């Protein structure tokens, strides 16, 4: 009987001794901030369309976009480069872009969670006949599920080929789509001046001028354009990549490796890259995922409304007083854009 009483006393003391610790733990948990829940209704539906086999800035954009909980990534479309692009020797560039995208998903533990499909393997040549591809069809299918009030954001970091083909396949999707495009040369009187030694037709537009003509001249899609003088604002230090991106997760190391392969190739061909690299596709994340909560909009970046120009056969802009109004961005919030990427990478690496 004495042994039983002694056992009961010991049990009671243990319980009483543990209560303060349990209470402290409970209070600590209550004080810890919980991540804000993002409802499906608040998510922005996006299709990512980029030439991931080319400039590695697209890979940085892809990783950042996938880490943003406010985006519902419906599909990733692999895009093409120019036929003799220095980034790759392959001719099936859209397929190679899909392989790069799948590699990113694998390294992030997201393999099979997002549909990855190839777009056209070459630039659009006709302004009336689409190049049919799984990528263009994915844009059509997803846009049909959207409304003008809750549109599909198609995020283009390269040629407009697949967007143009989607319009040619089904023009009725136009009012359900917002095209966010990294491309096009500067506008006279808007933004900054062209860079030294500039090309008259900006690189991404020149990948398929016919696609630009379809989207700008023929379609009624809403356009948010980030022209050359603005995407060149997205300078990020190579040492910043080494210290703020590469140490966090397998995908961080992959991003550094991909970037340095390109930097070293440029150096080899006599193009010194210096201390920085233009991560020019990152505004695609900023303008869609990093919007204000109240009166949702990418409110920390600046734009002007411009009458949509006519894209001429030589790639130049033609004045079009009757053109619909499009957003032409003049300044992007690089602090928020890169700060959010760094924070998400650090959280990923924990």
- For 8-28, what is each residue's pLDDT tens digit? 444 443 444 443 443 444 444
The candidate with the shortest Cα–Cα distance to 279, out of 240, 233, 242, 239, is 233
DSSP of 172-185: GGGGGEEEEEE---
The tokens describing 224, both together, are: 């948010």
- Sign, CA dihedral 100-341-298-72, equals positive
pLDDT, residue 294, reads 93
Listed residue (59, 161, 54) closest to 108, CA to CA = 59
With the CA atoms of 198, 328, 297 and 211 taken in that order, what torsion angle do they form, in degrees rounded to the nearest 10? -80
Q: Per-residue pLDDT tens for 55-89?
A: 999 999 999 999 999 999 999 999 999 887 778 88
pLDDT of residue 41: 59
Say whether 296 sits in a helix, a strand or coil. Answer: coil
Say which DSSP state 333 is in. -
Looking at residue 123, its pLDDT comes to 96
Q: With a threshold of 0.85, does the pTM exceed it? A: yes
Distance in Å from the first CA to the final CA of the chain? 53
Please tell me the CATH code under which domain 40-235+265-348 is placed: 3.90.245.10
Domain locations along the chain: 40-235+265-348
Low-confidence ranges of the chain (pLDDT < 70): 1-42
Model pLDDT, residue 28 = 42
């Amino acid at each position: 009987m004495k042994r039983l009483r002694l056992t009961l006393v010991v049990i009671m003391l243990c319980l009483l001794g543990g209560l303060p610790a349990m209470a402290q733990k409970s209070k600590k948990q209550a004080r810890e901030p919980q991540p804000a829940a993002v409802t499906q209704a608040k998510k922005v539906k996006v299709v990512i369309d980029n030439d991931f086999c080319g400039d590695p800035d697209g890979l940085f954009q892809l990783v950042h976009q996938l880490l943003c909980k406010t985006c519902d990534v419906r599909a990733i479309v692999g895009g093409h480069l120019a036929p003799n692009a220095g980034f790759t020797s392959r001719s099936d560039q859209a397929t190679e872009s899909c392989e790069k995208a799948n590699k990113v998903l694998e390294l992030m533990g997201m393999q099979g969670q997002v549909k990855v499909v190839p777009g056209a393997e070459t630039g659009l040549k006709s302004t009336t006949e689409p190049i049919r591809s799984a990528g263009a069809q994915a844009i059509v299918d997803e846009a049909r599920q959207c409304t003008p009030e809750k549109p599909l954001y198609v995020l283009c970091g390269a040629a407009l080929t697949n967007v143009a083909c989607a319009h040619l396949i089904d023009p009725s999707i136009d009012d359900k789509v917002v095209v966010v495009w990294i491309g096009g040369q500067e506008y006279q009187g808007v933004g900054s001046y062209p860079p030294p030694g500039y090309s008259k037709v900006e690189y991404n537009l020149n990948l398929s001028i016919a696609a630009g003509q379809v989207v700008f001249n023929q379609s009624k899609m809403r356009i948010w354009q980030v022209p050359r003088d603005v995407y060149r604002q997205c300078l990020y230090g190579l040492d910043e990549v080494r210290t703020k991106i590469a140490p966090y997760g397998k995908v961080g190391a992959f991003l550094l490796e991909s970037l340095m392969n390109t930097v070293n190739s440029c150096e080899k061909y006599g193009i010194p890259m210096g201390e920085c690299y233009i991560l020019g596709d990152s505004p695609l994340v900023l303008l869609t995922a990093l919007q204000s909560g109240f009166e949702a909009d990418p409110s920390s970046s600046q734009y002007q409304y411009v009458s949509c120009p006519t894209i001429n056969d030589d790639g130049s802009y033609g004045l079009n007083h009757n053109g619909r109004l499009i957003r032409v961005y003049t300044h992007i919030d690089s602090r928020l854009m890169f700060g959010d990427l760094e924070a998400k990478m650090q959280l990923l690496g924990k």
